[in-house]
Structure 1
């Protein structure tokens, strides 16, 4: 990444004032770095104070010609807007060149989901006799039973489980805490894993309270959870492209299809805006047609 004196200040701002996670901060800085790469490619070493709206429009054209997807372009533009807003806030610039910058129109892609049969197939594909078997069963039960993001899953602590009340405390995006109910099945597998499998791991200092550990006694990585799920899908013969997030999508979709209140689902998912949660209202069209037929007076 290009060493720009303002990027360090921006990084501190994202971390301290906006309380973003390390992954989100890295994504912001990587996207902003693309602007500097563009200026290098055209041999234009522009001072940030002199960047114009036209410069940014040419930059967007450049990343479009590189074959960048509209969704990625939109993310880059969002990062630029945040960066130049910060520069304006710090009085480093006097005019925001991103003010008239428009993001490409995006179609709202419905997330892939698994049905309950496919979820059971994945769980049944786990070999419980292997050292990681019970841990992996507990992971899938928690992902589907609580709708967690993968980062939230690997950060879960033993001290955050409340067995009697059947809920867990989750640290979500921006270090925001939320309380999420957890079902009996997920609790059962967590307890079995902790009492029968985890006790045989030599736990490294600092990881004593983490629920899910690798064989080396430290926390799981995001990649290891992705890899485990991909391998299970292959073993179970499921052709869909799935990831840990697929379980989150399935959790939300199945709740809403079952009649759950949208606000309650929003709270459990940790969405700051209900608009984000509304993507899960893609109910089966035949079901919706049946509702009209049964309840509408003109049908």
Structure 2
């Protein structure tokens, strides 16, 4: 079949064919990410970034050059894209080109370093007010769990009843960030509350925090619950689920907990990541008291 674009043009397929190729590539790229074990949130963002890049550059993926990528990143920077977002876009493209397409077009491209900022931390009084502004039940227990264990929102949505050891006051976070498992310590007060909640819970579900149909909550729903609780409590800070994790780590550090223990409890690969909260054996970790018990 004869193409209707000039013969002296580069071998670029008509847009309709390109769109079909993009969909095929994105489908395969998604499969690669799933097999590799990326979290659902990372997978979602990587697909968004690569989809946007492909349609912006508008070329067969295998013909994309370093100059194309630089031009795309420069355009994003000029339109006000933050350095932190550019770093994520760069990470997505690095996997796409280097791992999926086996191309080296991005190897020499550097992005601006993400500015290090201190995490947003709530005071102990604000934590109390946040809990009091939430009705006892699923939502309050969920907020208490995030603060009392330092868990990520992506870990909270996947938490199952079978992951919790009520007697030992511990829980296993399975497939956390970097697909790592870790032990977390649970508050005595939270254990009392969750026992009552699970006993009275009308809908049987494998998930600790579930919807009425038994399915797990989405990260968006949990983020909304946290925002609404902060507004109800009159807290004039940008409060997110991660704010509770930051507060957990900071309050442990303030209480004199060894930073190595905090690193393990948070699931940080590097101590450098944990040390931002300063401006391991399983049995030893079990001796660490949750800050929730000290409110």
**TM > 0.5 fold call:** yes
CA deviation map 1:122-179 (0-9, x unaligned): 111123xxxxx32122112111110011121121111111112111011212442211
Question: Does the C-alpha gap of structure 1 residues 49 and 209 become closer, same or farther in structure 2, counting only changes over 3 Å?
Answer: closer
C-alpha distance in structure 2 between counterparts of 1:191 and 1:160, whole Å: 14
Structure 1, unmatched stretches of 5+, are 128-132, 283-299
Task: Determine if contact 2:30/2:43 at 8 Å carries over to the other structure.
Answer: yes
Size of the aligned set, in residue pairs, is 259
C-alpha distance in structure 2 between counterparts of 1:115 and 1:51, whole Å: 49
Q: Runs ≥4 in structure 1, deviation > 4 angstroms?
A: none
Q: Which residue number corresponds to residue 261 of structure 2?
A: 264
Task: Determine if contact 1:147/1:268 at 8 Å carries over to the other structure.
Answer: yes
1:30 aligns with 2:48: yes
1:55 aligns with 2:68: yes
Query: Which residue of 214, 229, 232 maps to 1:217?
Result: 214
RMSD, aligned α-carbons: 1.9
SS in 2 for 1:64: helix
Q: Which residue number corresponds to residue 118 of structure 2?
A: 110
Task: Determine if contact 2:162/2:206 at 8 Å carries over to the other structure.
Answer: yes
Structure 2, unmatched stretches of 5+, are 1-17, 280-295
1:179 aligns with 2:156: no
Question: Does the C-alpha gap of structure 1 residues 231 and 48 become closer, same or farther in structure 2, counting only changes over 3 Å?
Answer: closer
1:231 aligns with 2:228: yes
Of the structure 1 ranges 2-11 and 138-147, higher mean CA displacement relative to structure 2 is found in 2-11
SS in 1 for 2:182: strand
How many angstroms does 1:88 deviate by? 5.6
Query: Which residue of 153, 158, 162 maps to 2:156?
Result: 153
Q: Which residue number corresponds to residue 198 of structure 2?
A: 194
CA deviation map 1:188-235 (0-9, x unaligned): 121121123x1x23x4xxxx2211122343322222222222122111
C-alpha distance in structure 2 between counterparts of 1:83 and 1:55, whole Å: 15
Task: Determine if contact 1:149/1:248 at 8 Å carries over to the other structure.
Answer: yes
C-alpha distance in structure 2 between counterparts of 1:24 and 1:105, whole Å: 20
C-alpha distance in structure 2 between counterparts of 1:185 and 1:74, whole Å: 40
